[in-house]
């Protein structure tokens, strides 16, 4: 609703992981470099761990978009699946026909046949799981058994795990020591520092089509970095709310007051201040009224 006000083509701070907004900051570039190097080796598991909101899913999408053509990918975005469900999901991703109707034994055979077929065609196969800390224990073991499929010279399947730190805690349990030994490459995705937060904000504004004077000045970006601890998702939430507040008040510059109100309206950052939350709600209502008036005026 504030697009026209700021001369934007699209919303700059949505929570959807859109690779058009990808910015090659150091932590994400390093993670991609580790993933690329690891995939070239063709061995074992690869693990990328990061706290909630650090950009794991965006990184996952970036990998899927840019992986070399000879790779065939099987992508499981929500791996909270029982072993049988996981096998069938992998089979479907690999193009195994009638995967939902087969017995488990036949399904395993067909998956192996499909992997051998792809290998004979010069393809490498990568299974990519997002949010893999949610995998049930039995499914983690099934995942390990998948990587037993191999020729004399090469594994038929590599596995990339994107996960929250809870996965590391689980892998430290004795029951998962065999799986942990198979993780040949790993990377811990850190949050952004103050300079990276500023670059991140300005980059997203430019990609969204903004061409005016800087809306988020250096001092304000430092404050945003401090309250969000450099977490991209929280930066997005605050910046979106600040733009809404500025628009609702008919202003064109972000201020510390906007940041304070946005913080108090965001439970992940602060305990709510009901007076400030009321101010935010009123600004949103004003924004809606202005938008509707503009919209219906344009229709006439």
- Tell me if 60 is assigned to some domain: yes
Q: What is the pLDDT of residue 292?
A: 52
> How much is the average pLDDT of 125-148?
90
> How much is the average pLDDT of 227-252?
92
**Could you tell me the pLDDT band of residue 28, with boundaries at 50, 70 and 90?**
very high
Q: Which of 97-111, 143-157, 175-189, 280-294 has the lowest mean pLDDT?
A: 280-294
- Tell me if 273 is assigned to some domain: yes
* Average pLDDT score over the chain: 87
What CA–CA distances, in Å, run from 13 to 243, 257, 280?
A: 10, 19, 18
Residue 134 sits in the same domain as residue 248: no
Q: Which of 25-29, 151-155, 184-188 has the lowest mean pLDDT?
A: 151-155
Candidate ranges 90-99, 205-214, 278-287; pick with highest mean pLDDT: 205-214
Residue 162 sits in the same domain as residue 269: no
Q: What is the pLDDT of residue 256?
A: 93
C-alpha–C-alpha distance, residues 109 and 195, integer Å? 52
The domain total for the chain is 2
**Could you tell me the pLDDT band of residue 148, with boundaries at 50, 70 and 90?**
confident
Structural domain that includes position 146: 26-189
Give Cα 275 distance to the centre of its chain.
34
* Burial class, 52, CB count within 10 angstroms (exposed 0-12 / middle 13-18 / buried 19+): exposed
- HEC per residue, 228-292: HCCCHHHHHHHHHHHHHHHHHCCCCCCCHHHHHHHHHCCCCCCCCCHHHHHHHHHHHHHHHHHHH
- 42 Cβ contact partners less than 8 Å away, ≥ 6 residues apart: 124, 154, 155, 158
**Could you tell me the pLDDT band of residue 30, with boundaries at 50, 70 and 90?**
very high
Residue 162 sits in the same domain as residue 256: no
Question: Could you tell me the CATH number of the domain that includes residue 254?
Answer: 1.10.8
End position of a domain, from candidates 189, 218, 233: 189
Residue 131 sits in the same domain as residue 240: no
C-alpha–C-alpha distance, residues 11 and 258, integer Å? 18
Residue 164 sits in the same domain as residue 265: no
**Could you tell me the pLDDT band of residue 299, with boundaries at 50, 70 and 90?**
very low
Residue 219 sits in the same domain as residue 136: no
- What letters, b where the CB count within 10 A reaches 16 and e where it falls short, cover 7-23? ebeebbbeeebeeebbb
Say whether pLDDT at 156 is over 70: yes
Question: Could you tell me the CATH number of the domain that includes residue 134?
Answer: 3.40.50.300
**Could you tell me the pLDDT band of residue 238, with boundaries at 50, 70 and 90?**
very high
């Amino acid at each position: 609703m504030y697009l026209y006000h700021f001369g934007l083509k699209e919303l700059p701070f949505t929570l959807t992981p859109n690779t058009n907004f990808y910015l090659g900051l150091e932590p994400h570039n390093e993670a991609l470099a580790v993933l690329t190097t690891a995939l070239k080796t063709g061995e074992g598991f690869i693990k990328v761990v990061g706290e909630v909101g650090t950009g794991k899913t965006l990184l996952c999408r970036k990998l899927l978009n840019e992986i070399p053509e000879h790779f065939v990918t099987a992508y499981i975005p929500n791996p909270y699946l029982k072993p049988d469900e996981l096998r069938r999901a992998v089979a479907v991703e690999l193009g195994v026909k009638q995967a939902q109707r087969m017995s488990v034994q036949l399904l395993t055979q067909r998956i192996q046949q499909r992997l051998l077929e792809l290998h004979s065609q010069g393809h490498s196969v990568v299974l990519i799981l997002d949010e893999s800390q949610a995998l049930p224990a039995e499914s983690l073991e099934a995942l390990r058994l998948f990587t037993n499929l191999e020729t004399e010279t090469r594994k038929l399947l590599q596995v990339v795990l994107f996960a929250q730190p809870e996965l590391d805690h689980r892998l430290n349990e004795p029951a998962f020591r065999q799986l942990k030994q198979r993780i040949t490459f790993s990377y811990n995705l850190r949050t952004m520092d103050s300079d990276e937060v500023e670059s991140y904000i300005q980059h997203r504004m430019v990609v969204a089509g903004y061409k005016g004077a800087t809306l988020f000045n250096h001092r304000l970006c430092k404050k945003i970095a401090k309250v969000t601890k450099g977490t991209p998702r929280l930066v997005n939430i605050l910046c979106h709310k600040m733009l809404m507040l500025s628009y609702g008040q008919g202003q064109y510059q972000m201020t510390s007051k906007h940041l304070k109100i946005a913080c108090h309206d965001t439970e992940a950052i602060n305990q709510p201040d009901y007076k400030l939350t009321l101010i935010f709600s009123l600004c949103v209502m004003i924004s809606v009224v202005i938008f509707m008036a503009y919209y219906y005026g344009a229709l006439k």
